[in-house]
Amino acid sequence: MRTGESERPITFAGARLGRHRHVCAFFNTRDEEYRVFLPFIKEGLSRGEKAFHIVDPKLRRDHVERLAAAGVDVAVVEKSGQLELRTWQKPICEAVTSTRPPCWP
């Protein structure tokens, strides 16, 4: 990443996020999720920022396919270390209660 690159604003869901940013979002469908997140992911990757994705093991292939369909060369950014793609582990999922959604730490 170029010096100062993460200091620049970045767009998320039509809003410009400043220097300090953390994103939490809720979606009704996976299509809605990707419609919002893909431009954000692509912009960050194109700026050389690192991405860390934790996904449901059952949906990993779908996630990779959606990234690729959006123009992300997943193999290249994974090999370079720019994208780290992990699946969540079973012990995290065991902590599900009636007040916690499944498989979230």
Q: What is the mean pLDDT of each run of 10 residues along the chain (105 residues)?
A: 58 70 81 90 88 89 96 96 83 51 53
The pLDDT, as a whole number, for residue 66 is 97
- Residues 87/57, Cβ–Cβ less than 8 Å: yes
Q: Model-level pTM greater than 0.75?
A: no
Beta carbons within 8 Å of 105's beta carbon, 6+ residues apart: 88, 92, 95
Q: Domain spans of the chain?
A: 5-93
Instruction: Supply the pLDDT for residue 91.
Output: 46
Backbone angles phi, psi at 75, to 5 degrees: -60, -40
Q: Which of 77, 83, 80 is nearest to 51 (CA)?
A: 83
DSSP 58: G
